[in-house]
Chain A
Amino acid sequence: MGKADVTFKATINGLILILKEDDDFQDIYDQIDKKMASAGKFFKDASIIVKYRGKKLSAHEEDKIRELMASKTGAEIKSFKYDIQEIHKTHSDNNAQTSKKFSLKKFSYFNGIKEGQTKFYRGTVRSGQLISYDGNLVVLGDVNPGGEIEATGNVIVMGSLRGVVHAGADGNREAIVAALNLEPTQLRIADIITRSPDEKENKSTYIPEIAYVKDDTVYIERFLPLLK
C-alpha cells in the first residue's frame, strides 16, 4: 500500500490540505491521522476553517476526515470543503492574476515608503515572470529583460535590473527604484514611464544607482558617494 502525500498549508483564512489526485482515500485518511497526531494539541480549542485541494472527495469521505481532525486535535472544525480556487498551475500564472490589480485611480495609495511592509524575493526574475507586491519589494538577484517587477512601494534590486520595473504602482510618486546595476528596459514610477535610450552604452563596471521622481521627471543618480 503506497503512502499518500498530504501537504498542510496554513493561510490567514485557515488551513488548506493539498491532496494528490491519484491517491487512495484510505491512504489519505491514514496520512492525515498521522500528521494530526504529530501536531499534538496545537490546535486545541481553536476554531478553524479547513479547505482542501486536489482530489475531490465525496460528502461521506469529507465527513470522515472532518470527524478525524476534530477528534485528534480538539479543535472545532467550522467547515471542511473543497477549495474552489484551484491551485495556481505555475508561478507566472499566479502572478498574472494579481497583475494590474493596483489601479491608479485609487484614492489612497500605499505610503509605507519610509517604513512599511516589504517582500523579499530571492532569485533571478527571468523573462515572462512577474513579481508583484502590495508594499516594498526587494529582489536578491537579477531581473532579466522580459521580466517584470511591480510594487506599490519602493523597489530595490540587489543585482542587475534589466527588465521592466514599476514602483509606486498604485500612484505614489515618492517611491524609488534602486539597483546595483540600473539599466531597465523600462522604468515606471507611479504614472510616469521612462525608457532607456536606444543607443546602448557599454558600462564596464556596475554603478549602484537610484531613480526617483521630481517635477514629473525621473532622475537617475548614483546613491553612493564617489570613492576617492
Chain B
Amino acid sequence: MGEVIVITSGKGGVGKTTTVANIGTGLALMGKKVVLIDTDIGLRNLDVVLGLENRIVYDIVDVVEGFCRTKQALIKDKRFEGLFLLPAAQTRDKNAINPHQMIQLCNELREEYDYILIDCPAGIEQGFKNAIAGADRAIVVTTPEVSAVRDADRIIGLLEANELRNPKLLVNRVRMDMVKRGDMMSIDDIIDILAVDLLGVVPDDEKIVISTNRGEPAITDSKSVAGQAFRNIARRITGENVPLLDLEADAGFVHKLKKLLGLKTS
C-alpha cells in the first residue's frame, strides 16, 4: 500500500512544484515507484519543471471524467525508472474535479505505487480542497518570510481541520548569511510560530532556477546544495534518520578553511 503525500503552502511561489519534482525524483532514485499528481488545473507547471510537457496527451480531468484509463494518462519519466507524472489540464479550471474523485484516484494509485506526491495549487479554495482530499500526510512548504509563514500557519490549521494531523514543515530558500545578520527569520523562529515538526531546510540556490528552466530536477546535480538538501528530505520521508544539512558549509572559502583548520568561526 502506497502513501499519499500532499505538498502545500497557501502562498504561491514558495517552491511547492520544485519540491514535488525534486522529492519525487529523489524517491524514484531510491528505487521507489512514485506518481506525481499536478492538481493545479489551469495553471499547470509540474510538467514543465520535469521537462515532460511535450508528452502530455491525457490529463487528470480526462481520467476523472472517464475519458481515458489512469494508466494511459500517466507519463513515464524519460530519465528515471519508476517516476510517473499525472499532469493537470490546462484548458479547464479547478472545478473540473471534486474531492470525492481525488480520493478515488488516490486509492486506485495507492494499490500499485509506493509514493503518490500531490502538487497543491496556491490558495485555499477548490484546488486546495481537491489536493488534500485523498492525502495521508502533508508537507507544508514555507520560506523565511513573514507573509509565507503567516499563510503556512493558516494552512496547518486547515489541514488539521481536515484530519491531516502533524504536517511536516519544509523551509525553502534559506540564506544563512542573511539569517546570521539578523535580516531573515531563522529556522527556530519559524518553528516557534508554527509548532510543527521540521522535515528539512533547503538553502537558496541559483542552480534551482537553472534546473527548473531546463526541466531537470536539481536533485540529480551532485554539486547543488539544494539538491543535497532534497536528497536528505527524500530519505527522511522513507523513514531514515538523516541529520540536518550544515548550511554554513556554503559560506565561502575562508570560512571553510577556518573550519578545516579547527579555528573558531564567526
Residues of A at the B interface (CB closer than 8 Å) are 92-93, 95-96, 99-100, 127-130, 145-146, 148, 164, 185-186, 193, 195-196, 198
A147 CB to closest chain B CB (Å) equals 8
A-B contact count (CB 8 A): 33
Closest approach, in angstroms, between the C-beta of A206 and any C-beta of chain B?
Answer: 20
Chain A residue at minimum C-beta to C-beta distance from B96: A96
**B91–A186 CB distance below 8 A:** no
A100-B67, A198-B78 are known contacts. Are A129 and B91 too (CB-CB below 8 A)?
yes
Q: Known interface pairs A128-B42, A198-B78. Does A146 touch B55 (Cβ–Cβ under 8 Å)?
A: no
Chief secondary structure at chain B's binding surface? loop
Contact call A195/B92, Cβ cutoff below 8 A: no
User: In the bound complex, what is the Cα–Cα distance between A195 and B53 (angstroms)?
Assistant: 10
A186:B56 contact, CB within 8 angstroms? yes
**A128→B53 contact, CB < 8 A:** no
User: Is the CB–CB distance between A185 and B92 below 8 Å?
Assistant: no
- In the complex, which residues of chain A have a beta carbon less than 8 angstroms from the beta carbon of B91? 92, 95-96, 99, 128-130, 148
- Nearest Cβ on chain B to A141's Cβ, whole angstroms: 17
How near does chain B come to A80, taking the closest CB pair, in angstroms?
32
With A95-B91, A96-B92 known as contacts, the answer to whether A195 contacts B55 (CB < 8 A) is yes
Chain A residue with minimal CB distance to B45?
A146
Residue of A nearest to B42 (CB): A128
What A residues does B43 contact at CB under 8 A? 128
With a cutoff of 8 Å between Cβ atoms, the chain A residues found around residue B265 in the complex are none
Residue picked from B42, B57, B90, most chain A C-beta under 10 Å: B90
Q: Is B54 an interface residue (CB 8 A)?
A: yes
A146 to B90, CA, bound (A): 7
B54 with A93: CB separation less than 8 A: no
In the complex, what's the smallest C-beta–C-beta distance from B31 to chain A, in angstroms? 24
Query: Roughly how many angstroms separate A128 CA and B94 CA in the complex, as a whole number?
Result: 13
Q: Which residues of B contact A146 (CB under 8 A)?
A: 44, 90
Residues of A within 8 A of B67 (CB): 100
Q: Which one of B53, B78, B93 lies within 8 Å of A185 (CB-CB)?
A: B53
Does B55 lie within 8 Å of A93, measured CB to CB? no
